[in-house]
Amino acid sequence: MSDTVLITGASSGIGAELALCFAREGSTIILTGRSPEGLAATADRVERAGCPRPRIIIADLANSAGVENLIGALGGCHIDVLVNNAGAGLHGPAVRLDRAAQLSLIDLNVRGAVDLALRFLPGMSEHRRGGVLFVASLAGFAPGGPDMAIYYATKAALLSFSDALSVETAGTGVTITALCPGPTATDFGNRAGFSAGSAVDAYGRMSAEDVAAIGHAAFRAGKRRAIPGWRNRLAHFFMKLAPRDFTLQAIGKAQAQRRKS
């Protein structure tokens, strides 16, 4: 495979592992994120895996100037595959969390990802190949996420957008996949501000490596969605069956356990 693949949020966690998956198949990799050290560490890992060193572009995707900087740095380079992985969470009641930080989360998790998809999809359609891998979340299937209200809402929006795009592009040679992980062992929780010792996390966090491998395989197989791990697929199954209010209350209780005392 000799695609040019742009991976956002490639400085750590699932994004770094996805970079390795796409590099190992022989694609040309471009890594983006805010942390030069984190991106360099991912590039080192790709090189150590025997693949060419990826290009690095520093960009903050939580604001439109950052997206413009990324596009400018790409200088018209054709992107075959966009991996929209950059994302973050914020834990706590919405009324107590910082308003600007919550709005910035919407900009990063939704606006930035949608903006990039809309910029690269026309080129993909013209070439009749490639596609977008969205890293959404199991949270995207939930009726809401008390104590992570904005995060759940952003992932629901991303999943909805990804699903709709996958139907719009069906049969065009372009494929759209939403990877929907459950709890995964990365720095995400730390950054979001929740304690990792709760029942939600005890039920089994997957490794970022396994999650990325499943997402990569699903994208290459042209699947609309990938929910990694049987526990997450079971949770998805119950979310589909259970009354919306019941699930909402259950998620509220689980998220409350993540509060730091």
Q: What are phi and psi of 63, to 5 degrees?
A: -140, 155
Give me the least distance between CB of 222 and ligand NAP, in Å please: 21
Kindly state the DSSP code that residue 156 receives in the 8-state scheme: H
- Exactly one of 24, 45, 55, 191 binds ligand NAP (CB under 6 A); which one? 191
- Exactly one of 22, 120, 141, 188 binds ligand NAP (CB under 6 A); which one? 188
Give me the least distance between CB of 247 and ligand NAP, in Å please: 17
- Exactly one of 137, 166, 175, 177 binds ligand NAP (CB under 6 A); which one? 137
Q: Does 255 bind ligand NAP (CB under 6 A)?
A: no
The span from the CA of 123 to the CA of 80, in Å, is: 8
Residue span binding ligand NAP (CB under 6 A) among the ranges 20-28, 79-87, 141-149, 244-252: 79-87
Long-range contacts, 23-27 (Cβ 8 Å, 24+): 23/49, 23/51, 23/52, 23/54, 24/49, 24/51, 25/1, 25/216, 25/220, 26/1, 26/2, 26/51, 27/1, 27/2, 27/3, 27/80, 27/81
* Closer residue to ligand NAP, CB minimum distance, 11 or 175: 11
Q: Starting at the edge strand that comes first in sequence, how are the strands of the sheet with 175-179 ordered?
A: 55-58, 28-33, 4-8, 81-84, 131-135, 175-179, 225-226
Size of the site for ligand NAP (CB under 6 A): 29
For helices 113-127 and 64-74, give the axis angle rounded to 10 degrees.
Answer: 30
Show the site string, 199-218: x = touches ligand NAP by CB under 6 A, - = not: ---------x----------
Interacting positions 166-185 with ligand NAP (CB under 6 A): 181, 183-184
State the residues that interact with ligand NAP by CB under 6 A.
Answer: 9-15, 33-35, 38, 60-62, 85-88, 108, 135, 137, 181, 183-184, 186-188, 191, 208
